[in-house]
Structure 1
């Protein structure tokens, strides 16, 4: 066994429990992995910032080598050389460059490209990433931002894609579909790609504490929003509505934007679906066009609300980990301490990663008597959203309307290292038929995913009868043919380009899937 690995077992325990900044060590000793003499199991780390940064780089490598879904493709320590493999002007940039490099080793035989290949930003990880705390806030339904998303309708038309309830943007009256004409007085907002100066400017402005946004609302009103970023409770349901169809029957419509904690989502979902039951809906439209995922427990809860009775007590999905974890060889994960739903402390080494333990079933209570469901999608529809779609396919008619989804049948283990959280792709999620083959996304209207392919309509608010994706479904329910009421398709980019632009400019939107409370011994 590599000497550095032995030393790292205790070093990881140190880094995993460190609550101070990595450049603010106070006691103990960690020089075992700098050429190697001793290690410590103290609660904090001492040494120069370079020593601690190297320890974190090593930890990133070793967790990946053990727990990554494609760990079999990761080279040995000396070959990869984590301390010199990737550098950056900041610690987080260096770590991001490291995980980007680690992500490119496993090749998808179907494409001859890495599973984590991103065509528009070659070398960047599609899934794997390092977080400095923002994701944790979002997953726990707490946001500290302005509260609106943005996406390009075409190369010169930047729009508000959604507004979070209770956010500074919502409180100021901002609405989806508004055209953004200036940010902080700058009107040069044309799309110039992932590495462009305009993209960098917009993302920097969105990361600030104050912002001025000049916009034209869908009704033509011009307004300037002066916003201050704030922490607010994140409501994942942006809209619910009951629509009366031509035949007198009713369809429920819900915009579900994030799989936040089940504790937050459950009462909100319960209220929405209780209203659908009272209204007597016979069709359901679930809008997840910007839902990048979140906790699988919340996905399970939503799945039971949607599923037909025929799914009761049958397999919902299986989380498949790498062979080492399935075999109980998770040596490093014992250093990752968490609390379960009852407040009991456990560690990830106590989790049973076998297929038997990681097979999840539908419950026996399903409030709606549905035989089909419609999902509205774009390239920002990812992970838990895709897993929800996929889990229902063996049991009911699932129709997709919109753009090809992101393509992420992979879930995370959240690994805490120093002050960072590494979202490590660790399991593949498969439905009852064993299907997880959507690495390139789910394409509406294809032979595999029936429905209708069309670009996102960024000119109307959610629930508007003329909004492109929703109206296409309503017209199908009324007349048997998918047709959009929107007249905003003139000058709109291709579906693929539009989805790419959305992911670039709204890059802070979480795309992932993980268990909040994994089953443990």
Structure 2
């Protein structure tokens, strides 16, 4: 029940063809009452994107009324249809202003929000949590190296992304066992290309490398909009709650929906639960860049209150928000739905997390894990200070998996 994600359900459309019927459990909002109940598939989809944003978006209070926004008039003539939906989503994402009149979702890419996005469904989802698992084998921790500097035992691990946990859990367990065997005191995580991925995978890695003294302390919390927390997002009644095998979960004698999820901050506060036997970590160093985002930033943020933490490279992307998918016709919509906060309540890294040791970008022929590579060399010197660095072992494995550029929540709880 822990791996879930909302699947199916288009406002006013079921299975993309028949009209959606209101039932006794469904309440309507003023915008739903104003929006037309009939129209073309494209018009209804434009309405749905607006209405879901009005109920689920983290900054929904900034959005105009349906009549003012008028999605049909502004976007129905844009072709192809996906471009019309993307333009609408971009417009919706630009209303909420953070500071200096700059939107939270300001982006350097024209017509693309910084966080929210939509995509045509490429594969059927297996559960309300994520896409069907891949059977393609690969080595996750593709580079692993060890050094000694005085009494410091240093390890380097390249983490390219945070894919579904079930595809990498065994390898992460093996990695932690090796770190424990080597009695590593200083760990370097190379996250420079890590655009994020699944929250549960980043959380699992955090529990493997954290010292036992952090057990049961707050790791991070996910803060949904107050209207979502208070059960006012009635459109979630149209999103079934599916188990890991893709079957509808029965709840209180009826099929569960995403409206049955507990969105309170208490229910979405995550705690360190120590896993494995690696318990010697004294300092965590992270190699980062502007491509470091989402779940990798969550990992960094979670350790800030507890461990000496050094960031090497360039300021990160800045993505302290996450989402879950909403199915709208043939598309999956990802609205920035919740704010990520660490144990200190910190979440203000919309412009990225600053580094302790800034470095210029370099083109290099050295593979990750090679101490001759400039950024790793700088991280090693930062740890060793004036002590001599002695290589112990190094290994390189299979090609890297595809990057996951998102922060996807899959571990909801029912009320």
TM-score range (shorter-chain normalised) is 0.7 to 0.9
| Offset, 1:389 | 0.3
Aligned pairs (5 A) from 1:121-136? 121-133=109-121
Q: Is the Cα–Cα contact under 8 Å of residues 382 and 408 in structure 1 kept in the other structure? A: yes
Aligned pairs (5 A) from 1:10-49? 12=11, 14-15=13-14, 18=15, 25=17, 28-29=18-19
Q: Compared with structure 1, are the counterparts of its residues 404 and 38 closer, same or farther at alpha carbon in structure 2 (3 Å cutoff)?
A: closer
| Offset, 1:238 | 4.4
SS in 2 for 1:254: strand
Match of 1:357 among 267, 283, 291: 267
Q: Compared with structure 1, are the counterparts of its residues 456 and 356 closer, same or farther at alpha carbon in structure 2 (3 Å cutoff)?
A: farther
| Offset, 1:313 | 0.3
Q: Is the Cα–Cα contact under 8 Å of residues 236 and 258 in structure 1 kept in the other structure? A: no
Match of 1:321 among 194, 219, 224: 224
Aligned residue number for residue 516 of structure 1: 410
* Deviation digits for residues 361-411 of structure 1 (CA, Å, limit 9, x no counterpart): 111446232121011111111111101100110010111111111100000
1:336 maps to 2:270: no
Aligned residue number for residue 72 of structure 2: 83
Aligned residue number for residue 145 of structure 2: 242
| Offset, 1:301 | 0.6
Q: Compared with structure 1, are the counterparts of its residues 351 and 468 closer, same or farther at alpha carbon in structure 2 (3 Å cutoff)?
A: same
Aligned residue number for residue 227 of structure 1: none
* Deviation digits for residues 104-136 of structure 1 (CA, Å, limit 9, x no counterpart): 000002x32101011x33543101100123598
Q: Distance in 2 between matches of 1:233 and 1:476?
A: 38
Q: Distance in 2 between matches of 1:100 and 1:234?
A: 36
Aligned pairs (5 A) from 1:137-152? 140=131
Q: Distance in 1 between matches of 2:292 and 2:124?
A: 19
* Deviation digits for residues 445-471 of structure 1 (CA, Å, limit 9, x no counterpart): 2xxxxx443425443211122112111
Q: Distance in 2 between matches of 1:360 and 1:452?
A: 31
SS in 2 for 1:317: strand
Can you give the 5+ residue segments of structure 1 that lack an aligned partner in the other structure? 1-9, 40-49, 144-231, 446-450, 482-507
Q: Is the Cα–Cα contact under 8 Å of residues 156 and 189 in structure 2 kept in the other structure? A: yes
Q: Kindly indicate whether structure 1 or structure 2 has the higher relative contact order, using CA contacts under 8 Å at least 6 residues apart.
A: 2
Q: Distance in 2 between matches of 1:344 and 1:89?
A: 35
Q: Compared with structure 1, are the counterparts of its residues 305 and 418 closer, same or farther at alpha carbon in structure 2 (3 Å cutoff)?
A: same
| Offset, 1:514 | 2.0
Can you give the 5+ residue segments of structure 2 that lack an aligned partner in the other structure? 1-8, 23-31, 250-255, 388-401
Q: Is the Cα–Cα contact under 8 Å of residues 316 and 362 in structure 1 kept in the other structure? A: yes
Q: Distance in 2 between matches of 1:358 and 1:466?
A: 42
Aligned residue number for residue 40 of structure 2: 51
| Offset, 1:235 | 4.1
- TM-score normalised by the chain length of structure 2: 0.81
SS in 1 for 2:192: coil
Q: Is the Cα–Cα contact under 8 Å of residues 10 and 327 in structure 2 kept in the other structure? A: no
Aligned pairs (5 A) from 1:477-516? 477-479=383-385, 510-516=404-410
Aligned residue number for residue 252 of structure 2: none
Match of 1:460 among 339, 355, 366: 366
Aligned pairs (5 A) from 1:36-435? 51-86=40-75, 88-109=78-99, 111-118=100-107, 120-133=108-121, 140=131, 233=136, 235=138, 237-247=140-150, 249-341=152-244, 345=249, 346-365=256-275, 367-435=278-346
Q: Is the Cα–Cα contact under 8 Å of residues 11 and 20 in structure 2 kept in the other structure? A: no
Q: Distance in 2 between matches of 1:250 and 1:36?
A: 63
* Deviation digits for residues 230-249 of structure 1 (CA, Å, limit 9, x no counterpart): xx626472423232224264
- TM-score normalised by the chain length of structure 1: 0.66
Q: Distance in 1 between matches of 2:242 and 2:163?
A: 17
Q: Compared with structure 1, are the counterparts of its residues 85 and 398 closer, same or farther at alpha carbon in structure 2 (3 Å cutoff)?
A: farther
Q: Distance in 2 between matches of 1:412 and 1:14?
A: 23
Q: Compared with structure 1, are the counterparts of its residues 29 and 328 closer, same or farther at alpha carbon in structure 2 (3 Å cutoff)?
A: closer
Aligned residue number for residue 349 of structure 2: 438
Q: Distance in 1 between matches of 2:136 and 2:72?
A: 39
SS in 2 for 1:84: helix
Comparing 386-395 with 263-272, greater Cα deviation is found at 263-272
Cα RMSD, aligned residues only? 3.0
Q: Is the Cα–Cα contact under 8 Å of residues 340 and 517 in structure 1 kept in the other structure? A: no
